[in-house]
């Protein structure tokens, strides 16, 4: 797509998960009574004792991913934070959305960035546009993001910052951010470097929506506009 490649994000579509096998650490006791094995996979501990000798074998496996909460825990955190009833027409979509975002949030390659935040804020504000109370709408937003162990104020601030920047751009200036110095220009350069680097980059629908929102605000969402600008 011209809009994506022109923003130096051409490597985004090629980003994929790479399986990395972490080395296991094995420790063996020197005495004949015990044997211990530790790996980075979780399983139950158990012991075996023979009837004719005092020989004993104990295997213990510990997980390195114990800090990743379950989807049910994230949903429960949201319900605890916002206890007022939500109309079913909104609640059904919110519950599906938080499950999807939980999987994005705790993906191995995930790293928060302002474009992702802009994408989510755009989706949320459009979804909740007709909500009866502005105060409740913002309270739900706060509870939702906090349930994912992230900062809702940072989401709002970064989204606003990018929107204000994009409104001051056009197709030509938007695609030349890499040659300028500035707060938002620096944010976009950092994202472009990560996307085009050898490391993993977590591409998501919210990132794509945030990227398109930048183009939309700069009146550069039509591919023909960018193609004409790049051909100069």
Domain residue ranges of the chain, discontinuous segments joined by +? 25-59, 69-230
Structure tokens that stand for 108 in this block? 């191995």
3-state helix, strand, coil in the chain (%, to 5): 55, 5, 40
Number of other CB atoms surrounding residue 190 within 10 Å: 12
The model's pLDDT over 33-92, given as tens digits with 9 standing for 90+, comes to 332 323 333 333 334 344 444 444 443 433 344 589 999 999 999 999 999 999 999 999
Task: Indicate the Cα dihedral angle 143, 146, 147, 149, nearest 10°.
Answer: 180
What values do phi and psi take at 38, rounded to 5? -120, 130
Residue 133 has pLDDT above 90, yes or no: yes
Residue 4 has pLDDT above 60, yes or no: no
Residues 167 and 92: their CA atoms lie apart, in Å, by: 33
Averaged over 19-46, what is the pLDDT?
Answer: 36
Structure tokens that stand for 115 in this block? 């474009």
Residues 41 and 26: their CA atoms lie apart, in Å, by: 13
The model's pLDDT over 185-206, given as tens digits with 9 standing for 90+, comes to 899 998 888 888 766 778 899 9
- Predicted local confidence at residue 226, as pLDDT: 55
Find which of 8-22, 72-86, 176-190 is predicted with most confidence, using mean pLDDT.
Answer: 72-86
- Predicted local confidence at residue 13, as pLDDT: 38
Query: Could you tell me which residues are beta bridge partners of residue 49?
Result: 56
Using alpha carbons, select from 65, 73, 97 the residue that is nearest to residue 149. Answer: 73
- HEC letters along the chain: CHHHHCCCCCCHHHCCCCCCCCCCEEECCCCCCCCEEECCCCCCCEEEECCCCCCEEEECCCCCCCCCCCHHHHHHHHHHHCCCCCCHHHHHHHHHHHHHHHHHHCCCCCCCCHHHHHHHHHHHHHHCCCCCCHHHHHHHHHHHHHHCCCCHHHHHHHHHHHHHHHHCCCHHHHCCHHHCCCHHHHHHHHHHHHHHCCCCCCCCHHHHHHHHHHHHHCCCCCHHHHHHHHCC
Averaged over 159-173, what is the pLDDT?
Answer: 92
Residues 220 and 1: their CA atoms lie apart, in Å, by: 13
Q: 109 vs 125, which has greater pLDDT?
A: 125
């Amino acid at each position: 797509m011209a809009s994506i490649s022109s923003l130096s994000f051409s490597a985004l579509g090629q980003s994929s998960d790479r399986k990395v096998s972490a080395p296991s650490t094995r420790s063996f006791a020197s005495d004949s009574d015990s044997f211990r094995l530790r790996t980075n996979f979780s399983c139950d501990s158990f012991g075996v004792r023979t009837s004719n000798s005092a020989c004993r074998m104990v295997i213990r496996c510990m997980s390195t991913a114990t800090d990743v909460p379950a989807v049910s825990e994230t949903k429960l955190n949201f319900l605890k934070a916002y206890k007022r009833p939500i109309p079913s027409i909104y609640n059904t979509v919110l519950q599906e959305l938080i499950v999807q975002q939980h999987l994005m949030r705790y993906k191995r390659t995930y790293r928060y960035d302002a474009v992702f935040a802009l994408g989510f804020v755009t989706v949320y504000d459009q979804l909740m546009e007709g909500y009866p109370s502005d105060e409740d709408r913002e309270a739900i937003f706060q509870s939702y993001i906090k349930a994912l162990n992230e900062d809702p104020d940072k989401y709002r601030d970064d989204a606003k910052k990018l929107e204000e920047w994009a409104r001051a751009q056009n197709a030509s200036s938007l695609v030349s951010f890499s040659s300028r110095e500035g707060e938002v220009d620096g944010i976009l350069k950092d994202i472009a470097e990560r996307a085009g680097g050898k490391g993993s980059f977590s591409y998501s629908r919210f990132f794509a929506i945030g990227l398109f929102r930048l183009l939309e605000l700069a009146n550069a969402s039509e591919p023909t506009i960018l193609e004409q600008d790049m051909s100069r």
